[in-house]
């Protein structure tokens, strides 16, 4: 996985060190090169793993719906924390909150095998 992330960054990052963080603070149709999207919803919102250096490295963020001008919000400290909470919610069939401002949703699995996906109801 680290190799794939490094390749993605190399392909998308500017050679000029002064431009590497040009997208910090710019949202909406822009996307930071060190944000790795891992999922999306029907409104265009994305779950993003933050790979920028610093305290936020590894955080899972949510945001960037179409036309959104607000920064993505931190939802989990890590993928590990996200999957622990998701597994608990799926196993116990209890709601979980994606972001502080969102209503809790109860996830479920739809489909099977390679076609399986987590649905939020």
Taking residues 95-100, what's their average pLDDT? Answer: 79
Where are the alpha helices (H) located in 13-71, listed in sequence order?
none
**12 and 71: one domain?**
yes
Taking residues 91-107, what's their average pLDDT? Answer: 83
- For residue range 11-65, what is the model confidence (pLDDT) as tens digits? 655 555 554 454 454 444 456 778 888 888 777 778 889 988 889 999 998 886 6
pLDDT at 72: 82
**74 and 93: one domain?**
no
**65 and 97: one domain?**
no
> CB neighbours of 120 closer than 8 A, spacing ≥ 6?
41, 98, 105, 106, 107
**Closest to 11 measured CA to CA, from 40, 41, 42, 33:** 33
**59 and 114: one domain?**
no
**20 and 74: one domain?**
yes
The tally of domains found in the chain comes to 2
As a whole-number percent, the residues of the chain with pLDDT over 90 amount to: 27
What does the DSSP assignment read for 69-109?
Answer: -SPPEEEESSHHHHHHHHHHHHHHT--B-SSTTSPPB-EEE
**55 and 14: one domain?**
yes
**59 and 100: one domain?**
no
Q: How confident is the model at residue 79 (pLDDT cuts 50, 70, 90)?
A: very high
Q: Over the chain, what is the mean pLDDT? A: 78
């Amino acid at each position: 996985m680290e190799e794939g992330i490094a390749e993605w960054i190399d392909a998308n990052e500017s050679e000029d060190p002064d431009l590497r963080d040009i997208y910090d603070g710019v949202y909406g149709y822009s996307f930071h090169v060190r944000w790795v999207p891992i999922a999306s919803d029907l409104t265009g919102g994305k779950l993003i793993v933050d790979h920028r250096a610093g305290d936020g490295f590894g955080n899972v963020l949510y945001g960037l719906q179409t036309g959104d001008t607000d920064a993505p919000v931190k939802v989990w400290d890590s993928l590990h924390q996200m999957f622990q909470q998701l597994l608990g919610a799926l196993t116990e069939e209890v709601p979980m909150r994606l972001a502080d401002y969102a209503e809790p949703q109860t996830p479920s699995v739809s489909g099977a095998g390679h076609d399986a996906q987590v649905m939020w109801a």
